[in-house]
Structure 1
Amino acid sequence: MNITQEKINDLNAVVKIKIAPEDYTEKVDKSIKEQAKKSNLPGFRKGMVPAAHIKKMFGKSILVEEINSLLSETLNKHLTDNKVEILGQPLPVIDDTKDFKWDNTDEFEFNYELGLAPVINVDVTSKDKFVKYSVKADEETLAARIKNIRRSYGKMTNPEVSADDDVLYAELAQLSPDGSVFEGGINHTGSIRLDQVADKKILKSLIGLKKDDVVELDLQKTFDKNEVIIAKLLDIAEEDAKELQSKFQVTIKNVNRLEESDLNQEFFDKLFGAGEVTDEAGFTTRITEEVESMFQQDADRKLQNDIYTKLIESVKIELPDAFLRKWLKATNEKLTDEELAEGYDDFAKNLKWTLIENKLIKDNNIEIKYEDVFQTAKQRLDAQFRMYSPAPMPEDQLAEYTATFLKEKDNANRIFDEVKAIKVFEYIQSVATLDQKDIAYNKFIELK
């Protein structure tokens, strides 16, 4: 067997593999004998089928399978032994001029295209400067968070007249263009959340309503064409909600209001545990710490995005674009030329960042341990659970959820990639110059 690599340029190469009968005959004969021992064919006792009969019936398919296996092993060994760094996967070169007999006498030659990983230099120093924001809770944002938490632990009441943030339980009847109720149209009883109403003029018209009041609503305008909200309200498919143009007659059946919980010890204990918080000041402090912790995640993401953007723009990386486009088409049969054209730039940008990450990890001996992956997964799950309940989940239960979560390969790979990115960003921040800056949340969101 003979394997050679021909370099076309710095980013492309072709590997040629030549296979003679002596390279595959022994393997093919062995496979035929093994199949003969396992075969159960009419006219023969199980395991007593002559090898010659198996060769006659299945010899060609066995030969094809062995050649493919030999090619894969040979190509992978060549790439590993010669430390050839490639992008994507080797692509077989189709040669219609070759016509193999597949009769165990052929001398085969197969060619593979390679997209070579470029040699890059990533040099991060103290001359690279970034702003690291410390985001503080402004009064409006903090008040809104406190209100939501108090309502989560509050009680439901039924006031006579609707006000801000109430929920209108109402019958909605689809109207014809002439304003009459559409016979056979949508008629459903659902809950209209006033905090979801996007149009301020419509919201004003829904305040001050009482039971049995009737109003006419354009739902698309009311909810700013949000098909998810409209579909849930009318109990229809989101696709139908998106196309819906009719107005609706809304008859109020009830006004529901979630009253805010009192700031008492019972409330504090439910939220933080017995005796952890004893007064309103302590409550406000804890909530401030919670929201600023969430804000800091946003600030960290902005810093990471700033670093990502600067390095993508400053590190010179050329890719084997023609090969990569061909590889993407070969490995995604349903990918259209239009989709490839639209998505290739983002794909190339992400690939460049992966090359930058790998280079920094290699050059700076950055380690990624399982414990890092486990702790990151646990933090992400904890944050998800806290969206539904501010009270923390017991550590042992959270650890059990995390272990189960990481058993799923896709979850484990996703968290591994996240930890990999975190480690790289931590390294960059340790050598770059960070300008620390305090900023209120309502000002920070204007930067995004």
Structure 2
Amino acid sequence: MNITQEKINDLNAVVKIKIAPEDYTAKVEKAIKDQAKKANLPGFRKGMVPAGHIKKMYGKSILVEEINNLLGETLNKYLTDEKVEILGQPLPVMDDSKEFKWDNTDEFEFDYELGLAPAVEVSITSKDKFTAYDVKADEETLAARIKNIRRSYGKMTNPEVSADDDVLYAELAQLSPDGSVFEGGIKHTGSIRLDQVKDKKILKSLIGLKKEDVVELDLQKAFEKNEAIIAKLLNISEEDAKELNSKFQVTVKNVNRLEEADLNQEFFDKIFGEGVVTDEAGFNAKITEEVEGMFKQDADRKLQNDIYTKLTESIKMELPDEFLRKWLKATNEKLTDAELAEGYDDFAKNLKWTLIENKLIKDNNIEIKYEDVFQTAKQRLDAQFRMYSPSPMPEDQLAQYTATFLKEKDNANRIFEEVKALKVFDYIKSAATIDQKEIAYNKFVELA
């Protein structure tokens, strides 16, 4: 067997693999004998089919399979042994001029295109400057969070007249252009959440309503064309909701209000555990801590995005773009030329970042251990659970959920990549100059 590499330029190469009969004959004969032992054909006892019979019936397909296996093994070994760093995967070069007899006497030659990884130089020093924001909860954001928590533990009442944030349980009937109820149109009984109504004029018209009051409602205007909300309200598909232009007659059947829980010891204990919080000041302090903890994640993401943007733009590297476009098309059959053109720049930018990451990991001996992956997964799951309940999940139960979560290969790979990125960002932050800046959340949002 002979394998050679022809370098076209610094980013592209072709690997040529020549296979002679002596390279594959023994493998093919063994595969035929193995097939004969397992074959169950009419007229022969199981396992007693002559190898010659198998060769006559299946010899060509067995040869094709063994050649493919040999090509894969040979190419992978060559790339590993020669330390050839490639992007994507090798692509076979189609050559209609080559014709093979597939009769176990052929000398095969196959060519593969390679996209070569460019040389990358990354140096992070104190001259590289970034801003890390310490985001503080402004009064409006804090008040909204406290209100949501109190309502989560509150009780449902049915006031006579609707007010802000109430829910109208109502019959909705589709109207014709002349304002009459459309015969055969959409009719459904659902819950209209006033906190989801974005149009101020329409919201005002829905406040002060009583049971059996009737109003006309433009759903698209009320919910700013949010097809998900409209579809759920009318029990129709989001596609139909998007195309819906009719107004609706709304007949109020009930007004529902979720009263906020009282700020008492029972409420504090239910959320934080017995005796942890004993007064409103302590409650506000705990919620502030929780909210600003969530803000810290937003601030970290912004810092990471700033680092990503600066490095991918400032570190110059060329990619084998033509090869990569061809590879993307070859490995994604449904990818259209328009989609490729639209998405390639983002793909290339992410690929550049991966090369930068890998270079920093290699040059600085950055290790990624299973314990790091486990702890990160546990933190992410804990944050998800706390979205539904501020009370923490017992540690042993959370650890069990985490272990189960990581058994899924996709989950494990995603968290591994996240840890990898975090390790790289931690290194960059340790080597660069990070300026700390305190900022209110409502001002921070304007930066995002």
1:82 aligns with 82
Q: Could you tell me how far apart the structure 2 residues matched to 1:15 and 1:47 are?
A: 41
Indicate yes or no: 2:434 matched with 1:431.
no
Q: Could you tell me how far apart the structure 2 residues matched to 1:248 and 1:335 are?
A: 41
Deviations 1:254-291 (A, max 9, x none): 11111110000000000000111000010000000000
Deviations 1:44-78 (A, max 9, x none): 12111111111111111111111111111110110
Q: Could you tell me how far apart the structure 2 residues matched to 1:189 and 1:30 are?
A: 70
Residue 213 of structure 1 deviates from its aligned partner by 1.0
Deviations 1:197-246 (A, max 9, x none): 01011111111111111110000000000000001111111111111000
Q: Could you tell me how far apart the structure 1 residues matched to 2:89 and 2:173 are?
A: 58
Deviations 1:112-167 (A, max 9, x none): 00000000101111000001000000011101100110010011111111111111
1:252 aligns with 252
- Aligned pairs (5 A) from 1:178-197: 178-197=178-197
2:150 aligns with 150
Indicate yes or no: 2:109 matched with 1:109.
yes
- Structure 2 length-normalised TM: 0.99
1:43 aligns with 43
Indicate yes or no: 2:203 matched with 1:203.
yes
- Aligned pairs (5 A) from 1:33-432: 33-432=33-432
Q: Could you tell me how far apart the structure 1 residues matched to 2:2 and 2:294 are?
A: 59
Deviations 1:301-353 (A, max 9, x none): 00000000000001111100000011111111111111111111111111111
Q: Could you tell me how far apart the structure 2 residues matched to 1:161 and 1:45 are?
A: 86
Partner-residue secondary structure (3-state), 2:429: helix
Residue type at the aligned position of 2:56: K
Structure 1 residue runs of 5 or longer lacking an equivalent are none
Q: Could you tell me how far apart the structure 2 residues matched to 1:58 and 1:183 are?
A: 67
Partner-residue secondary structure (3-state), 1:32: helix
Partner-residue secondary structure (3-state), 2:212: coil
Residue type at the aligned position of 2:217: L
Partner-residue secondary structure (3-state), 1:103: coil
Q: Could you tell me how far apart the structure 2 residues matched to 1:334 and 1:233 are?
A: 35
Q: Could you tell me how far apart the structure 1 residues matched to 2:436 and 2:424 are?
A: 20
Q: Could you tell me how far apart the structure 2 residues matched to 1:47 and 1:249 are?
A: 76
Partner-residue secondary structure (3-state), 1:163: coil
Residue type at the aligned position of 1:421: A
Partner-residue secondary structure (3-state), 2:188: strand
- Structure 1 length-normalised TM: 0.99
Deviations 1:61-98 (A, max 9, x none): 11111111111111011000000000000000011001
Partner-residue secondary structure (3-state), 1:9: coil
Residue type at the aligned position of 2:321: D
Residue 30 of structure 1 deviates from its aligned partner by 1.1
Residue type at the aligned position of 1:56: K
Q: Could you tell me how far apart the structure 2 residues matched to 1:40 and 1:214 are?
A: 76
Deviations 1:352-393 (A, max 9, x none): 110011000000000111111111111111111111111111
Please, which moves more after superposition, 260-269 or 44-53?
44-53
Q: Could you tell me how far apart the structure 1 residues matched to 2:235 and 2:40 are?
A: 58
Q: Could you tell me how far apart the structure 2 residues matched to 1:306 and 1:115 are?
A: 29
Residue 182 of structure 1 deviates from its aligned partner by 0.6
Partner-residue secondary structure (3-state), 2:387: helix
Residue 40 of structure 1 deviates from its aligned partner by 1.3
Please, which moves more after superposition, 284-293 or 24-33?
24-33
Q: Could you tell me how far apart the structure 2 residues matched to 1:242 and 1:402 are?
A: 39
Q: Which runs of structure 1 show a deviation greater than 6 angstroms over 4 or more consecutive aligned residues?
A: none
Q: Could you tell me how far apart the structure 2 residues matched to 1:39 and 1:190 are?
A: 63
Please, which moves more after superposition, 38-47 or 380-389?
38-47
Residue type at the aligned position of 1:441: Y
Partner-residue secondary structure (3-state), 2:8: strand
Residue 8 of structure 1 deviates from its aligned partner by 0.5
Residue type at the aligned position of 2:294: M
Residue type at the aligned position of 2:313: E
Structure 2 residue runs of 5 or longer lacking an equivalent are none
Residue type at the aligned position of 2:169: Y
